[in-house]
Structure 1
Amino acid sequence: MQDILWLIKKTLSVTFRKKTNIILYFGIPLIGIILSFLIYGNIGQTTLKVGIVNQDRQTIANDTVEFIKHLNNVHVTQISEDTLNDHITSGEVDCAIVLNQGFSQSVLNGNPDHIELVSIKGAQITGFVKSYLYQYLDNITALSKAAGGDSQAFSKMVADYQQSHFKVSTQSLQDTSKNKDMTNQTVGFLLMIMLLSAGNFAEIIIKEKENRTYFRLLSTPINARKFVLSNIAVNMIVMLAQIIITLIFITNVFHIDMHVPVWQMGIILLLFALIAVGLSLMIVSFSRSSSSAGALQNLFFTPSCMLAGCFWPVEIMPKSLQKVADFMPQRWILDTISKLQQGSHFGSLYLNFLILLAFAGAFFLIATYKFGKNNSVRNFV
């Protein structure tokens, strides 16, 4: 045990003798929090700027303009047809509604027409306006059909419709999606950093042999098994520190509500740390040099994080790639966190934990088998 503790102390001392390594291992994980905060931190309630060109100026057209003016979070500006394009391209309005001549008559005839929606910001903007405007026009059109062409009856029905009062109780709900997105983005970035950290420490095994330090250590009471165990311990110590620092900054510095208890998040990330160590050792077991180990890590770490949804929601990817993501341990980590955020009980996710443990066990078994089968003097188990 003393030999293992000495190796742990030696590896940590050599690694963090360089101040840049302190920043590399403990500073870079915080970049994920900062990026997530910049991406999602400014998301809030916004006001939609709508320009209206009313060329019809009949009663129904004027009532339609008034209806749009009274929508929540909508600022209406009356513009002319000549300045329409200038307002749109300059960004003074997000979209414009054009009520052409004949609009009111088309509504009276039961077939709303002569209306245009103009925007350069796509359906994300026009869809909001359409959802309210078209519902209003459907109601007015239904009244016109019920009036049967009687303009006086229609006017009375519209007046009654506009003056009708409904008792509605409202309650504001907190939007939790922003904090959940920030948490998932931060955790995804942390998973990537943990993989890279585990890979760097696992490479020490090969580098120690390349510079012949490993063989000098074997001339002492230290054996190969103690050397590997010390490497695993150092890996876990560093990643535990990364997890603690990240969680402290998330909760106490940036005050992001993860919607997952800190201790549960810590257990999940520690489980991934074990997976990262096993995966890194497996890659090292198939490598003949530190350069080949680095190449294999780059070949797997970044693409697997991309496929697993560490950098963007996995739902936006094609179905075929989503199926591939199920073979990535990062995907199961993010899925576990997502289910906890949705209210699932920690104990009910035993299947996710069994799958994650299976990943870790498989990686360690493959690494052990590969080390044991290789009889080269360059290998150590």
Structure 2
Amino acid sequence: MNSLFIAYNMLRRTLLQKKGFLMYLLIPAGVVSLIIGVMGQQQEHRIDIAYINMDQGPFGAHLLQELKLLPDYRLQEQSSGADLKESVTKQKTSGAFIIPEGFSETLLKGTAPQVDMYQLSVSEATITLKITLDSILSGYQGTVDVHRKQGLEDKSLQEAMEKTLTQMEKHQVKAHVTDLNLYVNPNMHLVVGFMLMFMMGVINNTISVIMEDRRMRTMARTFTAPVRSIEIMLGNFIGSFLVGTLQVLVILIVTRYVTNYEYGLPFFSQFVMLEFFLLASMGIASAIAGMVKNVSNMGLINSLVVTPTCMLGGCFWPISLMPEWMQKIANFVPQKWVIDAIQQMAAGHSLSQMWMHMGVLTLFALILLGVGTVILKPEDAEVG
């Protein structure tokens, strides 16, 4: 009961005040929603491709028509080779290609034509364009070979190919692509990362309250009563945990049902993983609260604990981009484990398969809470 009284007192001094309600609920939900609006949503966009068609036969026109029908490309015709190269070098388009003169005649002769491509750098857009062009050209060559095997040559071959292309343009057989949403939003780590940063703000909340109790000697007076050090620490722990839980609920509800951000995993699974991270954060807060002796040192907490661990844990960029030795160090910060668990569940894994991640986060909480209980001395006043 002593711990519950202390927890309620912390809740009353933080969340139940106007400033606390604004700092711990409204601002985090608003900032995360703003991040989602600016860069978090996975946007579908068409790739701009420049082209020049120097062919006078039916194959060049049919090739362009097939590319225009694809939802992935937006074709932009250029008047000259210089304009085409300029559009690529100035990054007005992702890539470019030229259909050479005599393109149709080369195909009718049974020879593979050369379509020149231009790109500033190798990218997914240019690679997919090359694959698409190769696929279409391979289809042309296969059709020409079939007619040649039937004994068609020259004019009769050209007439047969024109009739074939006319039938192909009708697209009587179509493929229906079903999006099973098996991919993970590449920007989700950024959204979840900022969410974790706000949750770690509870660390500052816990330490601020404990520092105030030390400065006012409230903690020392509490310790003179029949209240043990572990009860004081547990009360601060529970109070901060309640504040963090309400913060998690508000952020998830706002981002899911107001901003309509698609995380790709159930609400309950994400909430449980964030609660385990909150436990680990509270453990960190307990350990730091026992070490910080002066309120003037509070400014060092962000620079020495919150920001570096968020950087190592993948809150600002994917862990795979970091050197191998930094990836190994990332295993010692809780952010890495919760982000990895959320991404795996978004890719199709269930919450029950995240037992190792939940175990590691629980271990963080137990060890650090134990350290904080040992080093906390409630009878001490603030130093300095």
TM-score class, shorter-chain normalisation, is: 0.7 to 0.9
Tell me which of 291, 302, 305 is aligned to 1:286.
291
Residue 173 of structure 1 pairs with residue 174 of structure 2: no
Contact 1:88 1:95 in 2 (8 A): yes
Q: Find the residue that maps to 1:326 and give its secondary structure.
A: helix
Residue 229 of structure 1 pairs with residue 220 of structure 2: no
The 1-side partners of 2:23 and 2:101 are apart by 66
**What letter is aligned with 1:112?**
P
1:239 shift after superposition: 0.4
Deviations 1:58-97 (A, max 9, x none): 4443443343334345443433106435666788755432
Task: Report the counterpart of residue 19 of structure 1 in structure 2.
Answer: 18
Q: Find the residue that maps to 2:255 and give its secondary structure.
A: helix
Q: After the TM superposition, which residues 1-381 of structure 1 pair with which residues of structure 2 at under 5 Å, given as runs?
A: 1=1, 3-15=2-14, 19-30=18-29, 31-41=31-41, 43-44=43-44, 46-81=45-80, 83-84=83-84, 95-101=95-101, 103-104=103-104, 108=109, 110-113=111-114, 115-118=115-118, 123-141=123-141, 147=148, 151=154, 155=158, 158-159=161-162, 162=165, 163=167, 167-173=173-179, 175=181, 177=183, 180=185, 184-220=189-225, 222-292=227-297, 294-371=299-376, 377=380
Deviations 1:114-156 (A, max 9, x none): x333456862432332221122223434566785996457646
The 2-side partners of 1:37 and 1:80 are apart by 38
Q: Find the residue that maps to 1:28 and give its secondary structure.
A: helix
Deviations 1:274-313 (A, max 9, x none): 1111112122333343344542453232222222222333
Structure 1: segments with no counterpart, 5+ residues: none
The 1-side partners of 2:234 and 2:244 are apart by 15
Contact 1:110 1:142 in 2 (8 A): no
Contact 2:32 2:191 in 1 (8 A): yes
- Give the paired residue count: 373
1:354 shift after superposition: 1.9
The 2-side partners of 1:337 and 1:42 are apart by 17
Contact 1:199 1:277 in 2 (8 A): no
The 2-side partners of 1:71 and 1:14 are apart by 59
The 1-side partners of 2:83 and 2:302 are apart by 57
Q: Find the residue that maps to 1:310 and give its secondary structure.
A: coil
The 1-side partners of 2:60 and 2:264 are apart by 47
**What letter is aligned with 2:49?**
V
Contact 2:223 2:378 in 1 (8 A): no
TM-aligned CA distance change 1:242 to 1:377, over 3 Å = closer
Q: Find the residue that maps to 2:37 and give its secondary structure.
A: helix
TM-aligned CA distance change 1:363 to 1:225, over 3 Å = closer
Contact 1:33 1:182 in 2 (8 A): no
Contact 2:49 2:73 in 1 (8 A): yes
> What TM-score results when the alignment is normalised by the length of structure 1?
0.80
Q: Find the residue that maps to 2:332 and give its secondary structure.
A: coil
1:160 shift after superposition: 7.0
The 1-side partners of 2:375 and 2:104 are apart by 79
Between the two structures, name the one with larger relative contact order (CA 8 Å, sep ≥ 6). Answer: 2
The 1-side partners of 2:378 and 2:20 are apart by 34
Deviations 1:236-259 (A, max 9, x none): 111011011112213332233434
After the TM superposition, which of the residue ranges 15-24 and 341-350 deviates more from structure 2? 15-24
Contact 1:53 1:80 in 2 (8 A): yes
Contact 2:15 2:243 in 1 (8 A): no
Contact 1:88 1:120 in 2 (8 A): yes
Contact 2:189 2:314 in 1 (8 A): no
TM-aligned CA distance change 1:280 to 1:151, over 3 Å = farther
**What letter is aligned with 2:249?**
I
After the TM superposition, which of the residue ranges 67-76 and 272-281 deviates more from structure 2? 67-76
Coordinate RMSD, CA, aligned: 3.7
1:216 shift after superposition: 3.9
The 1-side partners of 2:123 and 2:8 are apart by 59
**What letter is aligned with 1:67?**
E
